[in-house]
Amino acid sequence: MIARRPFAVAVLSAAALTGAAATALAHSEVESTSPRAGGTATTAVTKVTVTFSGPMRTGTIRVTGPGGAVVSRGRGGRDPRNVNRLTVALKGGLKAGSYKASWTSEAADGHDQRGSFRFKLRAR
């Protein structure tokens, strides 16, 4: 029975390490956007956010509107109130139409990601 104990400890240790490795390899995924991807909001929108399943080190969001005009103020970045969220302020006087938000992020695990989503704005 004593000979089995080191084997059992080794098996349990390997299982624990495998589970920890799988957790470490899990990347943050987009959980939600605001405005909602594919959705419609009013021209009163003042910011765009992308919320992830885990913390972000850094990131940017660039929003373009009708005719390709950039409507975001600056590059945006990690929300100081929520490390899982990127946010960017929008310029005032937005027009109704189709908009595209393009984002880049570096997750806490070092994984770089990029993506985009579209939404529409309608007059208030």
Supply the pLDDT for residue 86.
98
Supply the pLDDT for residue 124.
85
Stretch 16-25: mean pLDDT: 45
What percent of the chain is helix, strand and coil (3-state, nearest 5)? Answer: 20, 50, 30
Distances in Å between the Cα of 58 and the Cα atoms of 24, 52, 75, 85 are 19, 12, 11, 10
Domains of the chain: 28-122 (2.60.40.1220)
Supply the pLDDT for residue 17.
45
Supply the pLDDT for residue 19.
46
Stretch 3-27: mean pLDDT: 50
Helix (H) or strand (E) holding 8: helix 4-25
Question: Does this model's pTM top 0.75?
Answer: yes
CA distance 9 to 29: 35
- Structure token digits, residue 63: 């929003």
Supply the mean pLDDT for the chain. 86
pLDDT band at 26 (very low <50, low <70, confident <90, very high): low
Tens-place pLDDT, residues 46-87: 999 999 999 999 999 999 999 999 999 999 999 999 999 999
Pairing of strands 40-42, 112-122: parallel
Which residues are bridge partners to 88 per DSSP? 48
